[in-house]
Structure formats: C-alpha cells, structure tokens
Amino acid sequence: MSKKIIIAIDGFSSTGKSTIAKLLAQKYNYIYVDTGAMYRAVTLYAKQNNFVGLEKLDVSGLVSNLKNISLSFQLNNDLGFAEMFLNGVNVEKHIRSLEISQLVSKVSTISEVRTKLVAEQQIMGKERGIVMDGRDIGTVVFPDAELKLFMTASADKRATRRYKELIERGDKVEFKDILFNVQERDRIDSTRQDSPLMKANDAIEFDNSDMGITEQFERICTLVEKRIS
C-alpha cells in the first residue's frame, strides 16, 4: 500500500504550478487545492464591498468582515476539477481577471486574511493525500510536507503564458500590462512581511522557462514515487 503524502508546490505566478498540481492529483487520486484562488476570492469580496481598489486598501473594513466570507471548492464534473465558490456563488471566471490580479497581492499582505486562509488550508490537508499550490505552502501551511517543489521561470515566459490564457477566454488585455502585473506581484509577494514567497530549505527547484510539461511531470512523478513507496 502506498503512503498518502502532502505535495506542496510554491513559486512565482504563472509558473505552471496549477497544471502540474492537477496532473499529480489526477494520477495519484489526490485532492488538489489552488490556494491562489482563495486569496483571489477574498480579493473579489473586498472589491465588491469597496475595501480595495487600485489606490485604496481598507484593512480594518475588510478584517472586520472576514467572518462574512465563506469559501468552498466544488467539483465541476465536466472540467474534472473543483471551482471556487464565494458565499455560495461560483466566482471561478471573475477571480482570474486582470482586475483581480492587480489587487490580489495587496490583499494577500494582510495578516488576518492569511491566518484565516492558512487555517482552512491546514484542515483540508489533515488526512494528507493532497496537492496544494501557492506561495507559502512548504514554508508556513505544511512545513512538514513530504515533497516540496519550488517553480520558477522568466517573467517574460510567464507573462506570455498568462497573456495567451486571458486572450483565449476572450479578455481584452495588453501584453505590457500582463508583464507589469507579473513583475509587480513577484515584488509584493516576495517582500511582504507576513510569510513572503520564498523557497523552503528542503524544496526542490524547477526552472521551467525552457522545460516542457511532460518532462517536468515525469521528473516530479519520480520524486513522488520515492516518497510514497
């Protein structure tokens, strides 16, 4: 019998973390949790309630309303993965917009937001058998994860991937805005005081600027096999 483990995948935005995480979850029949979607959903709530904007962040307003935010993942059988629900409403498409991408790093600096989401994430991983991606999974959420991966790629490659995704779904965006957003999020995510994005000492780094998904996935599966057998 193979052992159920926690696979923690951290790294910069648009480094293909979720693609790898979904493939791993499928192969090993694990739960996949996209923690970025949780921060994005809180950001959507903050925006809808006027607690955040390009020039504004009302920390106390948002913090006093955190109790009114209920997040859940619900499986979409057609897509084969779970979608993000905010207070019972499917917000999957909304949270992926450039508008939310421009605000999410700011909201993610708030310690009270992090405490709430980290606690929810730790509950999801209690039984192990989970693949979780984000920025602080191997360092804060599951420092005892059996396998920690840290993904990187050049900002240009990442912005190109993100741009393609947004254009394919019909959003009207410009490449220069996407590149700026990727660089700006790198900066805020890596320099915030509370749990900044950093590689855990025991994480294995993958620079996938020039590595295809298949090659990466095969290498990662070899690492998984070693830990579950």
Residue given tokens 């991606």 in the structure block: 133
Q: How far apart are CA 96 and CA 112, in angstroms?
A: 23
* CB-nearer residue toward ligand DC: 216 or 225: 216
Residue 39 interacts with ligand DC (CB under 6 A): yes or no: yes
* CB-nearer residue toward ligand DC: 39 or 45: 39
* CB-nearer residue toward ligand DC: 98 or 228: 98
Contact 69, 45 (CB under 8 A): yes
The pair of structure tokens assigned to 229 is 């057998």
Residue 40 interacts with ligand DC (CB under 6 A): yes or no: yes
Contact 95, 145 (CB under 8 A): no
**Least distance to ligand DC, CB of residue 33, Å:** 10
Number of residues that bind ligand DC (CB under 6 A): 13
Residue 162 interacts with ligand DC (CB under 6 A): yes or no: no
The pair of structure tokens assigned to 118 is 């980290």
CA dihedral 207, 209, 215, 219 (to 10 degrees): 10
* CB-nearer residue toward ligand DC: 184 or 207: 184
* CB-nearer residue toward ligand DC: 194 or 207: 194
Considering only 16, 36, 125, 138, the residue that binds ligand DC (CB under 6 A) is 36
Residue 35 interacts with ligand DC (CB under 6 A): yes or no: yes
Residue 150 interacts with ligand DC (CB under 6 A): yes or no: no
Between CA 94 and CA 105, with CA 100 as vertex, the angle to 5 degrees is 140
Residue 185 interacts with ligand DC (CB under 6 A): yes or no: yes
Instruction: Please give the distance of CA 115 from its chain centroid, rounded to a whole number.
Output: 16
Residue 189 interacts with ligand DC (CB under 6 A): yes or no: yes
The interface with ligand DC within residues 73-102 (CB under 6 A) comprises none
Considering only 110, 134, 178, 208, the residue that binds ligand DC (CB under 6 A) is 134
Q: How far apart are CA 66 and CA 182, in angstroms?
A: 27
* CB-nearer residue toward ligand DC: 157 or 185: 185
CB atoms within 10 A of CB 172: 7
Rounded to 5 degrees, what are φ and ψ at 108?
-70, -10
CA proximity to 84, closest of 128, 135, 127, 32: 32
**Least distance to ligand DC, CB of residue 35, Å:** 4
* CB-nearer residue toward ligand DC: 3 or 93: 93
User: Under the rule (CB under 6 A), what is the footprint of ligand DC?
Assistant: 13, 35-36, 39-40, 104-105, 108, 134-136, 185, 189
